[in-house]
A = this chain, B = another copy of it.
Amino acid sequence: MNILVNPEEKVWKKAVERPVFKTKQINKIVKPILRKVKRNGDKALIKYAYEFDHVELESLLVPQSEIKAAADELSPQLKEAIQKAKANIERFHQAQETPELIEEVMPGVVCRRKSVAIQRVGLYIPGGTAPLFSTVLMLGIPAKIAGCKEIVLCTPPNVEGKVHPAIIYTADLIGIHKIVKVGGAQAVAAMTFGTDTVPQVDKIFGPGNQFVTAAKQMATKYGVAIDMPAGPSEVLVYADDSTPAEFVAADLLSQAEHGVDSQVVLVTHSQKFAKKVLKEIDAQLEVLPRKDIAAKSLDNSVAIVVKDLQEALNLINFYAPEHLIISVENEEEAVEGIVNAGSIFIGKYTPESVGDYASGTNHTLPTYGYARNYSGVSLDSFVKKITYQKLSPEGIQNIGPTVEVMAENELLHAHKNAVTVRLNSLKKNK
């Protein structure tokens, strides 16, 4: 991790450049997977489980017996922690419910707007090295609150053909009972086209490796929506020496351990503080189990010394971080100045990991600069907002002539006529 002191604005782009991906190779592998799952359904899924997960599955669905048994396999502490996190996430996502909007914009012209659940959603939970039960909470809870009719959870089986009990327990706790042992691009394909076991869905959520990401991107060509474009996770910490360097180092490392392509950025006002943080990182890194991963991702990372708050804000808004920790003395002023970020962690007692697990906000956030134009996952992500309008005879008489003039000037006479026939019939009936 290098320290850049007062870099000119024109070198920012280069300084905080995110890792670039070669998607061509990946797409070449993913494309036939989609095709084969579309054609062969469950059969293809079982074949891929053998090929990629090295397991012979007899059935894809997690059976009721395993769901019942999952709770007994977890420690009471973990179950309690999951329940506490669930309560916070539920509370904050329930508070996001939008009441129905009803406006009589002029006499007799009533407009409405109402959130209606996306009916069928698919949640993808990666397997790999760790059982990401926290993502089950982050996706499952808003799906349930929204009232999605069909919720399917896909996650790869381990070498014994099982799903980790923490994932099963969490899903069951939320009320998701269709858990399918399928991972990777083939899981996305199954939710896109539907198979005997996996229902076809309207929208696919969830993180994943580059194969999953590529498959989600391809799925959009078949009418499925996805939560957001994905990239590796990242954090930008804006801190000064009002925060212990130990805290800042721990926050940077907690992001760095995610994967070798993660990026962490430190923005600060003093080179001395930056050096102190880097020294702390070295010390903490030594004892981390995922030390090698974190060390590699620190190579993609940089500490930037800026001259003042305004420059810090400009740089942060330019970078548009997924996670932004602001731990400086005048924190409120700094927070006010942020226009591009996924989620913001304020003050020295708010590490990113509280948001990753249990503060109540969602941890599925826009990476890779998409915080400029995308929100993180929220209750909104599981609904669409349908508009309604109803005009009374008085209403059409009030707004009709306006529509007639506009339609005529856009040369759309049939649009005009749809109003005219109604106005005429009302004249006749007088």
- Give A contacts to B, CB under 8 Å: 77-78, 80-82, 84-85, 87-88, 91-92, 95-96, 98, 101, 103, 105-106, 109, 111, 113, 116-119, 129-134, 166, 202-203, 220, 223-225, 229, 244, 246-247, 250-251, 253-254, 256-258, 284, 288-290, 294, 317, 335, 338-362, 366, 368-376, 378, 380, 383-393, 395-396, 399-403, 405-407, 409-422, 425
Contact B389 A360 (CB under 8 A): yes
Contacts of A393 in B (CB 8 A): 349
CA distance A33 to B342 in the complex (A): 33
Contacts of A391 in B (CB 8 A): 347, 349-350, 354, 359
Instruction: Identify which of B105, B247, B339 contacts A117 (C-beta below 8 A).
Output: B339
Given contacts A81-B403, A134-B410, 6 further A-B contacts (CB under 8 A): A113-B378, A225-B374, A258-B412, A353-B407, A354-B419, A357-B407
Contacts of A111 in B (CB 8 A): 88, 92, 359-361
Instruction: Identify which of B101, B289, B344, B359 contacts A105 (C-beta below 8 A).
Output: B359
Instruction: Identify which of B78, B229, B396 contacts A349 (C-beta below 8 A).
Output: B396
Instruction: Identify which of B346, B375, B401 contacts A385 (C-beta below 8 A).
Output: B375
Which of A119, A133, A357: most chain B CB closer than 10 A? A357
Residue of B nearest to A83 (CB): B402
Main secondary structure of the interface of A (DSSP, over half): mixed
Contacts of A344 in B (CB 8 A): 386-389
Contacts of A350 in B (CB 8 A): 389-391, 395-396
Contacts of A109 in B (CB 8 A): 88, 354, 359-360
Q: Given A246-B421, A384-B371, is A354 in contact with B389 using a C-beta cutoff of 8 Å? A: yes
Q: Given A116-B339, A385-B378, is A84 in contact with B399 using a C-beta cutoff of 8 Å? A: yes
Nearest Cβ distance between residue A319 and chain B, in whole angstroms? 13
Contacts A/B (CB < 8 Å), 25 sampled: A88-B105, A92-B105, A92-B113, A111-B359, A118-B373, A129-B411, A130-B410, A202-B372, A203-B373, A225-B373, A225-B374, A246-B425, A247-B422, A250-B421, A289-B411, A289-B413, A335-B388, A346-B389, A346-B390, A349-B391, A350-B396, A351-B422, A353-B407, A353-B418, A375-B385
Contact B81 A405 (CB under 8 A): yes
CA distance A348 to B203 in the complex (A): 34
Nearest Cβ distance between residue A5 and chain B, in whole angstroms? 26
